[in-house]
Structures are given as structure tokens and as C-alpha cells.
Amino acid sequence: MMTSPCSCTSFLSLRHSTFLRYVSLSCSKSIFILSQISAAAGNDCGNKIKAIQAAFARTIATGPAGLQSALSKLSCDKDMSSTDFYFAIADSWSMGIQYGAKTKMCGSFGAITEQSSDEEIMNVFAEWSNAYWGKDFCAGGFCKYILFILL
């Protein structure tokens, strides 16, 4: 498990440097602080991605039941840490942007409104991610999808 926010920041910003200027993960609180996503996704979609991250963070912050609820939406292993889960959802949307699914993804996120509940927001994201990447994306090791796309 990573304990240094610096190592998390370096991992994400290096990994997605082609389109994401700065992503910082506060490992001690297990929440994402997202900046400049709109540059890659556009203002509307970027705001919806921030809402997705925030909805998952609020749900997970409620305790073990909240984490289990979040994990189940993406068919993740039940013993996955919240930190790894945040990497998984960040990989899902960021790879969608990077590898040509931005229009479809952002269109799917159109169902998210300011009145949407956290549950509704998480469900919209989970429906897109599960449909696009498959239900084994989280539990099956989401890094394998990068190799598939690059080959």
C-alpha cells in the first residue's frame, strides 16, 4: 500500500502525462483532488468526472459498507483497498479519454445532473465503465487493458 502522497502523484501524473497535467491523490484520506481535467475532457465532461470522483469518495468515507458498495458497482475484488479502487476508476475514465472513447464516455455522463444523487452518479459511471471495459476490468487487473490497446 502506498503511503506517500508524493509517490501517488508521481505515479498518476507520469502514467497519464499525455493528457492530464496534474492529479494528486491524498493517500492518507483516500480521496482524489483533481485539477485541469477540463483541459482533456472539456468543461462539462470534466465537471462530471469530478462529480463521479466526489460521489465515490463520499460513499467510501462512510465506512466499510460504503467501500463495499463502491467495489461491487465495478465488480472489484472485495478486499481491494480504497486507494487501489481510486486508481481503477481514474484509469477507467482517463484511458477512455486517452484511447478514443471520450465522446461516447462524456455522452454517457450526460445523465449526471446537479440534482443527481451520489448513487445515481456512481451508477452512471459504473454502467459506462462496465459496458466499455467489461465487468472484469477492475477485478481482472485493469493494467492489462493498456497492453491490449497498445498492441
pLDDT score recorded for residue 141: 62
The yes-or-no verdict on residue 146 having pLDDT over 60 is: no
Angle, CA of 115, 117 and 119, to the nearest 5°: 155
The yes-or-no verdict on residue 62 having pLDDT over 90 is: yes
Task: Report yes or no: 24 and 35 within 8 Å, Cβ to Cβ.
Answer: yes
Q: Residues near 63 by Cβ (< 8 Å), separated by ≥ 6?
A: none
pLDDT (tens digit per residue) in 71-95: 999 999 999 999 889 988 988 988 8
Q: What secondary structure letter does DSSP report for 109?
A: G
The whole-angstrom separation of Cα 27 and Cα 51 is: 19
Mean pLDDT for the chain?
75
pLDDT (tens digit per residue) in 26-48: 333 333 335 556 677 778 898 89
The yes-or-no verdict on residue 119 having pLDDT over 60 is: yes
* Average pLDDT of span 116-127: 97
Angle, CA of 43, 53 and 56, to the nearest 5°: 150
The yes-or-no verdict on residue 13 having pLDDT over 60 is: no
* Higher pLDDT, residue 38 or 55: 55
The answer to whether the predicted template modeling score (pTM) of the entire model surpasses 0.75 is no
CA atoms 136, 140, 143, 144: torsion sign: negative
Other C-beta atoms closer than 10 Å to the C-beta of 1 total 7
